[in-house]
């Protein structure tokens, strides 16, 4: 049976946080387990390099950690092709082909670039790699002849430019490369530890697989409802980030306990945080151990990564042959 191909990746920028899980990894696992698709999931280290090029020595350990976390949270190298972008050099060859046929104006109009330009100037990442990000993203999808890309509804514009670039390729070379379509996924609203929107730039995120000590520190730092300055003051759980995390990690019964206890001052914020800590700790325990086991066994992890990259390369090479034959190049 020929199954549609799904391609998706996560940019390598450091250890995964829960935004990566709810926005990407949890959906990857779901798609893999549904069994309807041939799945390619990548640790996108070239994309990470566009902003972390000054700390290039950190990219490789982050990448290994990402693959270990992919596996720890349910991706199975027997069911999905797990690869590291830079170990499949065909991504860059196809990037070069697509870069030539992508008008500059298309990239200048990308809203994420326009929005990020000022920050990019300030952080010394106003560079060609970052500007051309959508072209590399298109190559990442096209190199596996990806037909479906899991995205949140707010990210559909990111995929649209890839569709346009592939359409232009098809038009120019009378080709039939698949134009990827979005596979819509739902992402819950994730609160930052400080009550603001969760964002890497605010440094207010919860790691996906934290060690116990780091988890305790994160939970203790969560901002609570200021109305509960004293233990006997009732509060409003909806304005508290601890409540937001209970909704992600706790049982319905615990959520009821929090909401009732908070509104009636029946529980203190310390009790509420302690319960949250226990719940997150219980959920992350197994993946934490699995991740550790993989990182402590570099031979095993390396062999999983090599096998995944070899599988990915074999598909990527086939695509390049097809691409070059369309181009007569």
The site for ligand SF4 (CB under 6 A) is made up of: 224-225, 228, 235, 237, 240, 242-243, 258, 262, 267, 269, 272-273
Sequence-separated (6 or more) residues with CB below 8 Å from residue 218? 193, 206, 207, 210
Residue (82 or 240) nearer to ligand SF4, CB: 240
Least Å from the CB of residue 185 to ligand SF4: 28
Least Å from the CB of residue 224 to ligand SF4: 4
Residue 225 CA to residue 263 CA, distance in Å, equals: 11
Sequence-separated (6 or more) residues with CB below 8 Å from residue 139? 91, 92, 94, 95, 97, 98
DSSP-derived letter for residue 44 is: E
Q: In whole angstroms, how far apart are CA 103 and each of 98, 143, 203?
A: 10, 20, 35
Residue (107 or 239) nearer to ligand SF4, CB: 239
Least Å from the CB of residue 257 to ligand SF4: 10
Least Å from the CB of residue 188 to ligand SF4: 17
Token readout for 229 is 């300055």
Least Å from the CB of residue 288 to ligand SF4: 24
Token readout for 305 is 């990564």
Cβ neighbour number for residue 38 with a 10 Å cutoff: 19
Instruction: Answer for the pair 309, 84: CB distance below 8 angstroms, yes or no.
Output: yes
Least Å from the CB of residue 189 to ligand SF4: 16
Token readout for 180 is 């990827």
Residue (77 or 237) nearer to ligand SF4, CB: 237
Residue 255 CA to residue 245 CA, distance in Å, equals: 10
- DSSP letters for 201-214: GGT---BSS--HHH
Residue (173 or 245) nearer to ligand SF4, CB: 245
Query: Which residues are 109's β-sheet partners?
Result: none
Least Å from the CB of residue 198 to ligand SF4: 17
Q: In whole angstroms, how far apart are CA 35 and each of 7, 29, 116, 124?
A: 14, 10, 37, 43
Residue (204 or 224) nearer to ligand SF4, CB: 224
Residue (134 or 235) nearer to ligand SF4, CB: 235
> Buried b vs exposed e over 293-303: b needs ≥16 C-beta within 10 Å?
ebbeeeeebee
Residue (192 or 237) nearer to ligand SF4, CB: 237
Least Å from the CB of residue 30 to ligand SF4: 29
Residue (181 or 269) nearer to ligand SF4, CB: 269
């Amino acid at each position: 049976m020929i199954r549609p191909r799904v391609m998706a990746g996560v940019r390598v920028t450091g250890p995964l946080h829960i935004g990566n899980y709810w926005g990407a990894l949890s959906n990857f696992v779901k798609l893999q387990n549904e069994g309807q698709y041939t799945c390619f999931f990548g640790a996108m280290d070239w994309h990470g390099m566009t902003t972390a090029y000054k700390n290039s020595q950190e990219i490789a350990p982050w990448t290994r950690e990402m693959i270990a976390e992919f596996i720890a949270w349910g991706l199975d190298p027997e069911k999905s092709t797990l690869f590291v972008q830079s170990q499949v050099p065909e991504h860059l060859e196809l990037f070069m082909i697509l870069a030539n046929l992508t008008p500059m104006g298309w990239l200048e109009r990308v809203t994420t670039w326009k929005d990020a330009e000022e920050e990019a100037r300030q952080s010394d990442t106003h560079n060609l790699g970052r500007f051309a990000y959508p072209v590399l993203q298109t190559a990442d999808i096209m190199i596996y002849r990806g037909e479906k890309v899991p995205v949140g509804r707010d990210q559909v514009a990111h995929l649209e430019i890839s569709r346009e670039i592939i359409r232009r390729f098809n038009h120019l070379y009378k080709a039939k490369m698949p134009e990827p379509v979005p596979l819509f996924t739902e992402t819950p609203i994730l609160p930052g530890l400080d009550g603001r929107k969760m964002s890497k730039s605010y440094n207010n995120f919860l790691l996906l697989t934290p060690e116990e000590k780091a988890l305790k520190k994160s939970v203790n730092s969560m901002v609570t409802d200021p109305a509960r300055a004293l233990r006997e003051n009732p509060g409003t759980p909806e304005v508290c980030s601890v409540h937001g995390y209970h909704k992600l990690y706790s049982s319905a019964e615990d959520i009821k306990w929090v909401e009732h206890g908070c509104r009636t001052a029946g529980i203190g914020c310390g009790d509420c945080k302690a319960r949250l800590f226990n719940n997150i700790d219980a959920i992350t325990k197994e993946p934490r151990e699995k991740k550790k086991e993989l990182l402590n066994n570099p031979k095993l992890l390396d062999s999983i990564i090599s096998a995944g990259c070899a599988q990915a390369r074999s598909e990527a090479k086939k695509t390049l042959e097809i691409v070059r034959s369309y181009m007569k190049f």
